[in-house]
Amino acid sequence: MTRKYFGTDGIRGRVGDSPVTPDFMLKLGWATGKVFAGSDGSKPTVVIGKDTRVSGYMLESALQAGLVAAGANVKLLGPLPTPGIALLTRTQKAEAGIVISASHNPYFDNGIKFFNDKGSKLSDDLELQIEAMIDSPMATVDSEQLGKASRIVDAAGRYIEYCKATFPESLSLKGLKLVIDCAHGATYHVAPAVFDELGAEIVVIGATPDGYNINDGVGSTEPEALQARVVAEGADLGIAFDGDGDRLQMVNAQGELLTGDDVLYILAMHRVANGDSDAGVVGTLMTNMGLELALEAGGLRLARAKVGDRYVKELMNAEGWSLGGESSGHIICGEVSTTGDGVIAALQVLAAVMASGRSIADLASGFTPLPQVLVNVRIGKDFNMAAHSSIKNACDRVEAALEGRGRLLLRASGTEPVIRVMVEGDESVEIDRLAHEVADAIKQAA
């Protein structure tokens, strides 16, 4: 079935435009409460957390009202990284968790993501049940059946302690100088505490949110400020999080950017060196082919999932593997986290650095990415690529030019109205020209 409201990762859009409006969020909260109510009529518990966008207050209040009207109890977490909300959903024995965030998007966007009682993203079936309930008439339960709302005042502290507990007790970060970029987002009060309390010398940027500056010139999608600061401070490495803290980018001492593929390689090889029995790593369709080759050289297989950390996690479960992630920096360390977690992924990389005595650049040196070009093309809401033969003809020409020396991938974003055109190939392929040939065909058709 086609989903009406949910995209790749929940519901997202510009605040004030449907569906990111107070009236829709009221109905969404009510529908969620109804779907997660017990078959015996028992009240479900739903936790709600958010990032630092000014619109979070409005959406939180609307969701809370809808949930209470459906007879659900609500526990408010305040600003907290997405993986922290997943954690508290589990530890509070809640039936569901709600994240109010638009991740790496600008402040004027916002959205909703859900977790189930295990701290994992909702199944397609549950999303469809919520969508069906949204389209049903809303009725408030009798007063004696209304839910109640309460606040967990130490939510951030609980997540901080959990993150620290995932770092090996025998190791310390003493002697490391780190630059931490919190994107003025949900990690602003969490990440600095974690790395400081584990012994690192830290320099913090992007940690003064005002509701409007999230992801503005900082964070994992704009790492230039971090790269410059690492070099200026003479730091050992830098870590940038996105607005909701479920992904990261890392920078080595030379100010060079490491992608999520680099992080996956470092973690995979560290596990191999320590006798990990996993046979492989889960990536996505966007994972660089160079990582696949590097992992094969290390005796590991790469399995590709659809883009989206929920699909990465599903394939990890199917393969029985504990490590997976995306090039964008969503890294799932399955033995300690149920979803992408930037802070925990960074700690796992730092554990590899401290245990091996090697720099992050040295640890990543066995992976050489194939050149890759990504071009984003903005489209209209109802644009259908399949209806335009000119796009297919451009793709056919590009694939013929690649001649098995690379890959062409077209993917519609699940979070914004763009088509992502990716071309990857060895040094002999003019990947930039080929990518723009397809992108231009899409622009003309759109």
In this structure, what DSSP letter does residue 80 have? Answer: -
229 residue type, one letter: R
Q: How far apart are CA 264 and CA 299, in angstroms?
A: 14
- The arrangement of strands across the sheet holding 280-284 comes to 301-305, 280-284, 323-325, 331-333
Residue finishing a domain among 100, 126, 155: 155
How many CB atoms within 10 Å of residue 23? 11
Verify that 44 and 111 share a domain, yes or no: yes
Same domain, 16 and 96: yes
Q: CATH number of the domain at 240, please.
A: 3.40.120.10
Instruction: List, by residue number, the catalytic residues.
Output: 103
Provide the domain count of the chain.
3
Q: Which of 94, 126, 155 is the last residue of a domain?
A: 155
| 3-class DSSP state of 213 | coil
> In tens digits, what is the pLDDT along the chain, a chain of 446 residues?
567 899 878 999 999 999 999 999 999 999 999 999 977 778 999 999 999 999 999 999 999 999 999 999 999 999 999 999 999 999 999 999 999 999 999 999 999 999 999 999 998 899 999 999 999 999 999 999 999 999 999 999 999 999 999 999 999 999 999 999 999 999 999 999 999 999 999 999 999 999 999 999 999 999 999 999 999 999 999 999 999 999 999 999 999 999 999 999 999 999 999 888 789 999 999 899 899 989 999 999 999 999 888 899 999 999 999 999 999 999 999 999 999 999 999 999 999 999 999 999 999 999 999 888 999 999 987 888 889 999 999 999 999 988 877 889 998 887 778 999 999 987 767 899 999 999 999 999 98
Chosen domain end from 316, 334, 363: 363
What's the chain's Rg over C-alpha atoms?
22
Q: Does residue 160 belong to any structural domain of this protein?
A: no
> Is residue 234 located within the same domain as residue 339?
yes
Name the burial class of residue 400, with classes exposed (0-12), middle (13-18) and buried (19+) by CB atoms within 10 angstroms of its CB. exposed
SS3 content of the chain, % helix, strand, coil (to 5): 35, 20, 40
**Is residue 264 classed as helix, strand or coil in its secondary structure?**
helix
Q: 382 and 328, same structural domain?
A: no
Same domain membership, residue 378 and residue 314: no
* Domain assignment of residue 413, given as a range: 372-445
Cα–Cα distance between 166 and 348 in angstroms, integer?
A: 8
Residues 21 and 115 in one domain: yes
Based on the domain organization, do 288 and 237 belong to the same domain? yes
**Identity (one letter) of the amino acid at 166?**
T
Residues near 220 by Cβ (< 8 Å), separated by ≥ 6?
Answer: 104, 181, 183, 240, 241, 242, 247, 248, 249, 328, 329, 342
Q: Which amino acid is at 85?
A: I
Helix (H) or strand (E) holding 34: helix 22-36
Q: What pLDDT score was predicted for residue 1?
A: 55
Written as six digits, the tokens of 305 are 């999932």
Same domain, 98 and 227: no
Instruction: Tell me the CATH number at 413.
Output: 3.30.310.50
- Residues with Cβ < 8 Å from 158, sequence gap 6 or more? 84, 87, 88, 91, 152
* Position 340, amino acid: G
Q: Are residues 297 and 389 in the same domain?
A: no
Please tell me the predicted confidence (pLDDT) of residue 428.
67
Pair (135, 178) in one structural domain: no
- Say if residue 133 is in the same domain as residue 264: no
Task: Looking at the structure, tell me whether residues 209 and 355 fall in a common domain.
Answer: yes
- What confidence score (pLDDT) does residue 15 get? 98
